[in-house]
């Protein structure tokens, strides 16, 4: 079962902070789903994932974005 972060309605940098917390608490191989409803929130989370070099899938739904992250070993954990 994925970890779900509902960051809809929250201003930056809160979606990014919530994502960082989830990444650090997740086990390797776990899936994290982040829900945001602003472009700024989406872009902030995606920049974070690129910095952490984590794979993700972005889906745009009706009035929100779903970012599905697969928690892998981070480059800074090596």
Spell out the domains of the chain, with CATH numbers in brackets: 3-77 (3.30.110.40)
pTM, two decimals, is: 0.90
pLDDT at 64: 96
DSSP string, 3-60: EEEE-TTPPTTHHHHHHHHHHHHSPTT-EEEEEE-SHHHHHHHHHHHHHHT--EEEEE
Span 28-59, pLDDT tens digits: 899 999 999 999 999 999 999 999 889 999 99
């Amino acid at each position: 079962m994925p970890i779900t972060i509902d960051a809809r309605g929250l201003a930056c940098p809160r979606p990014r902070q919530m994502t960082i917390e989830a990444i650090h608490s997740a086990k390797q191989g776990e899936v994290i789903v982040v829900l945001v409803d602003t472009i700024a929130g989406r872009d902030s989370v995606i920049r974070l994932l690129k910095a952490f070099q984590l794979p993700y899938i972005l889906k745009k739904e009706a009035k929100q974005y779903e970012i599905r992250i697969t928690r892998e070993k981070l480059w800074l954990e090596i």
